[in-house]
Amino acid sequence: MQIIRGKAELRQALSMLREGGGTVALVPTMGALHAGHIALVAEARQRADHVVASIFVNPTQFGANEDLGRYPRREASDARMLEEAGTAILWAPDVDTMYPNGPEITVKAGPAAAGLDGDARPGHFDGVATVVARLFDQVRPDIAVFGEKDYQQLLVVRQMVASLGLGIDIVGVPTQRDADGLALSSRNAYLSEDERRAARALPRSLGEAAQAIIAGTPVVEAIDRVREKLAAAGFDPIDYVELRDASTLEPMTTLDRPARLLAAAFLGRTRLIDNLPVEPAE
């Protein structure tokens, strides 16, 4: 695996990769990799001949009071994991390489960014769209692979690619979970032992609500129960618990089509997000 930090070297390495033919998949990450990221690389390998992974902790997607400064950085072990997983190129630019003139040209995320994290983290999805557009331009992949854990992000990227006609196939990969159900996330590293135990309430309450909604419990009632269980486990504040259309993210009050139940809440200083598919019974 080549580790590349400059745009000229990246261009050269990509043209060598493409000389022998074959397709290229991009797996964009912010590093601090876990099994969830490795599942993205595995999916990328299934679908393309060459895998390029990127590690870039993108300042433009962090709010002023968020965790940019303390976001975990461990490139050496990330590189080992990516190499073992069969990555051909690790693209690891620094901030000046990604934003040589600062972020003077930005991308405004589309309607999929409305509500949910779009409200809770103003500007976040514009930052994501801006950096992903740059990564797509730098790597020119045939496909790009994203985790469903950041479900709204996946739809924001899909919408950007469709709107701008970028011709990149955007693939979503189901969330990887620990044995107790907690979604793998680089931010889980912030949790104390007690918080880590309490965190199970997030996937558990969402799973129970998903089952209840499928069985006919009114959506509002099921969501209220999730809020109660999260509060009882110590989550505070709860940013949102909502049922949304699985492909447009429109709010839903009855389960009449495939949906997604999404939540975001804080345990101490750590903000956790999760979501589950909710499909109407046959």
Q: Which residues have a catalytic role annotated?
A: 37
Our finding on whether 107 is near ligand PAF (CB under 6 A) is: no
Judged by CB under 6 A, does residue 270 bind ligand PAF? Answer: no
Q: Which is nearer to ligand PAF, 209 or 262 (CB)?
A: 262
Per-residue interface string for the shown chain with ligand PAF, residues 143-162, x marking contact by CB under 6 A:
-------x--x---------
Beta bridge partners of 240: 264
Q: Minimum CB separation from ligand PAF for residue 30, in Å? A: 4
The C-alpha atoms of residue 162 and residue 152 are separated, in whole angstroms, by 15
Which one of the spans 22-30, 86-94, 105-113, 177-185 is the region binding ligand PAF (CB under 6 A)? Answer: 22-30
* 274 contacts ligand PAF (rule: CB under 6 A): no
C-beta closer to ligand PAF: residue 121 or 244: 121
Closest CB to ligand PAF among 62 and 235? 62
Q: How many residues of this chain interact with ligand PAF, rule: CB under 6 A?
A: 10
Q: Which of 131, 145, 155, 272 binds ligand PAF (CB under 6 A)?
A: 131
Instruction: Give whole-number Cα distances, 71 to 86, 101, 186, 190, in Å.
Output: 25, 24, 8, 9
61 binds ligand PAF, rule: CB under 6 A: yes
- Per CB under 6 A, residues contacting ligand PAF are 28-30, 58, 61, 128, 131-132, 150, 153
